[in-house]
Amino acid sequence: MKISSSNFSNNEFIPSEFSCEGRDINPELYIEDVPKEAKSLVLIVDDPDAPMGTWTHWTLWNISPDTKVIKSGEVPAGAIEGQTDFGRPGWGGPCPPKGNPHRYFFRLYALDTLLDLKQGASRKDLEKAIEGHILDKAELIGLYQRK
């Protein structure tokens, strides 16, 4: 399985349009080679370099396994967004303190089930729900540094 973006390459800088310094919308993401037996996909985006510890920027689940593109600024039909560390569901773009670049991990999981979680569920609840259901995973890393 593979996840990529038309807006940045792996281990390259995420354009400011997708950050708190820009339009603060999610970048376009491409999904390839999902296992045929997958029933749903999960996306978790976080920053492990945040001063208070890993910061969750976006959680999204029950993405159709047929999804090839998550368009910029959009949530795929039927997908559910969870609570982020910004205190609300939905995308929260890179917004690190000024200084060194931070890494943003886009982790995609293929599951053998649909999840019975309500919108706004916590990352902890999401991680507990996917335990034992992961068929495959993929990762894309973007970088961001405040101007």
Average pLDDT over residues 116-123: 96
Pairing of strands 12-13, 134-144: parallel
Average pLDDT over residues 13-38: 97
Give pLDDT tens digits for 36-64. 999 999 999 999 999 999 999 999 999 99
Cα(70)–Cα(53) distance, integer angstroms? 27
Number of domains in the chain: 1
Judge whether 78 and 64 are in contact, CB under 8 Å: yes
Sheet holding 102-111, edge to edge: 12-13, 134-144, 102-111, 40-47, 55-63, 80-81
Q: Output the pLDDT for position 88.
A: 95
Q: Output the pLDDT for position 147.
A: 80
Give pLDDT tens digits for 59-113. 999 999 999 999 999 999 999 999 999 999 999 999 999 999 999 999 999 999 9
CATH of the domain at 117: 3.90.280.10
Cα(27)–Cα(2) distance, integer angstroms? 16
Range of the structural domain that residue 69 is part of: 2-144
pTM confidence score: 0.97
Q: Output the pLDDT for position 118.
A: 95
Cα(37)–Cα(94) distance, integer angstroms? 33
Q: Output the pLDDT for position 65.
A: 98
Cα(22)–Cα(30) distance, integer angstroms? 22
Taking residue 48's Cβ as centre, other Cβ atoms within 10 Å add up to: 11
Share of the chain above pLDDT 70, in %: 100
